[in-house]
Amino acid sequence: MAGLILFHDYTSPASAVAVARVQRLADEGLAVSFEGFEAVGVDATLPVTVEVLAALDELGDAAAAEGLVLRRPPGLPPTALAHVTGAIAEEAGLGASWRDACYRAFWSRGAAIGDRDVLLELAAEAGLDTAAVATALGDRLFVASVRRRVGGHRRNGVGGVPTILASRTLVPGLLPSDELRTLAALP
């Protein structure tokens, strides 16, 4: 098990920043991993919430420091299929490339990441085998297994994103890089 696990969801501005910070630690070889977590869990695009708008204002500078652009999206799409694509990306060793492509597309361009065709375009951009992604997106059992995994995380105390599991303790996931580094070093 990794020293630090980051639970994240693509429509969370705080997750976008946390993923960028934790990815830097992964690139340095620290023991970290990423778990997609469908925070809302509905299969409909929702309007942008006041909480998301406030987070965009609050996190603008932090995002810019991470090289991210956080623009107001047209809506908050369902993320289950994006997490399915993320699972395929992890299996292929392209998780970092996928997360980068998906977060940037959603937050800078407002990409409809709940749409299969958009996900296939982003998968190709991330270097994934689009045939494998298309198969996974159409496999109801695989989609259900990804959602069951999220349900298991909920039962184990993950209530939102970003959240970090370090040394069997859940903590808020939007932490400064030095604190993330310390958590990643814990046994």
pLDDT for 10 beyond 50: yes
62 contacts: CB under 8 Å, gap ≥ 6 = 17
pLDDT for 63 beyond 70: yes
Q: In whole angstroms, what is the distance from residue 54 CA to residue 93 CA?
A: 34
Task: Confirm or reject CATH 3.40.30.10 for domain 4-184, answering yes or no.
Answer: yes
Give me the mean pLDDT over the 25-39 stretch: 95
Q: In whole angstroms, what is the distance from residue 5 CA to residue 20 CA?
A: 14
**Residue 55 pLDDT level (bands cut at 50, 70, 90):** very high
Provide the mean pLDDT of the chain: 95
71 contacts: CB under 8 Å, gap ≥ 6 = 56, 107, 108, 109, 110
pLDDT of residue 2: 58
pLDDT for 1 beyond 80: no
* Domain boundary assignment for the chain: 4-184
